Amino acid sequence: METVTYFRLAAIILLGLCTGSFLNVVIYRLPRGESIAMDRSRCPSCGKQLSWFELIPVISYLLQFGKCRTCHSRISLQYPVVELLTGAVFAVLFLHFGATLTLVKYLFLSSLLIAISLIDLRHYIIPNSLVITGLAGGVLLNIAARDVGALSALIGILATSGFLLLVALLSKGGMGGGDIKLAAVTGLFLGWPLAPFGLFLGAGAGGLLAIFLLLFKLRGSKDPLPFGPFISLGSFFAILYGFSIISWYLNYL
């Protein structure tokens, strides 16, 4: 890689770390009904407002040994993990798509999916505000990036969201409404055929994990397993490798 590319990669990773820091705020505040635009972050334990040097992604956590400077209570490992994850995802997308509008589109989507997955994991809900943000952003970014046309997006939504709706109706509540809405977002962004392929991958991974957890009695059959993270993971994989895998499979046939 050229020096310029290294410089751009470093900038993208930095952007990812800062975006991850913002996502942590979204993940904490949205399920509690607090405003995202509210004042600066506070320690969840003692309520002390954090200063700028306590808000540097990853670095602050390391310098403070994972503890609040005021009350010394543990800071959740979720904070640096989400920051590092977002930085890594941004780097992978940049190396895959280069400096394009498609990159911008998928940086937006993956940030949204990280926030949705974490909220779903912790609270078993997918906030409508994030779904609406996704649908609005998806329409604009599809037009800007010109990689997924209106028809492709429409078929993508029907093949993911419509399919899950059908599953929900047939299983009488076996599929959450949040998952159906999230699938509409990935359907819009990825279009046909990537969106249903991503859902297929996610459902496969989720199903395997569910069987594994049941076999080893780590979870009962009645315990909910949030599906949002799997839809997200499958879609991310489809964005990167979907077309290669599908064309390889068609050639194989």
Question: In this structure, is the dihedral angle defined by the CA atoms of residues 97, 98, 101 and 104, taken in order, positive or negative?
Answer: positive
| Residue (43 or 165) nearer to Zn ion, CB | 43
Instruction: Give least dist CB 80 to Zn ion, A.
Output: 17
Instruction: Give least dist CB 250 to Zn ion, A.
Output: 56
Q: How many CB atoms lie within 10 A of CB 129?
A: 10
Instruction: Give least dist CB 65 to Zn ion, A.
Output: 14
Residues found near Zn ion in the complex (CB under 5 A): 43, 45-46, 68, 70-71
Instruction: Give least dist CB 73 to Zn ion, A.
Output: 5
| Residue (13 or 43) nearer to Zn ion, CB | 43
Distance from the Cα of residue 131 to its chain's centroid: 12
Q: Which of 136, 116, 139 is nearest to 126 (CA)?
A: 116
Instruction: Give least dist CB 177 to Zn ion, A.
Output: 36
| Residue (43 or 158) nearer to Zn ion, CB | 43
| Residue (68 or 112) nearer to Zn ion, CB | 68
Question: How many H-runs (helices) and E-runs (strands) does the chain carry?
Answer: 10, 0
Instruction: With beta carbons less than 8 A apart as the criterion, state whether 42 and 49 touch.
Output: yes
DSSP 8-state symbol, 75: P
| Residue (2 or 39) nearer to Zn ion, CB | 39
Q: What is the C-alpha separation between 115 and 155, in angstroms, rounded?
A: 26
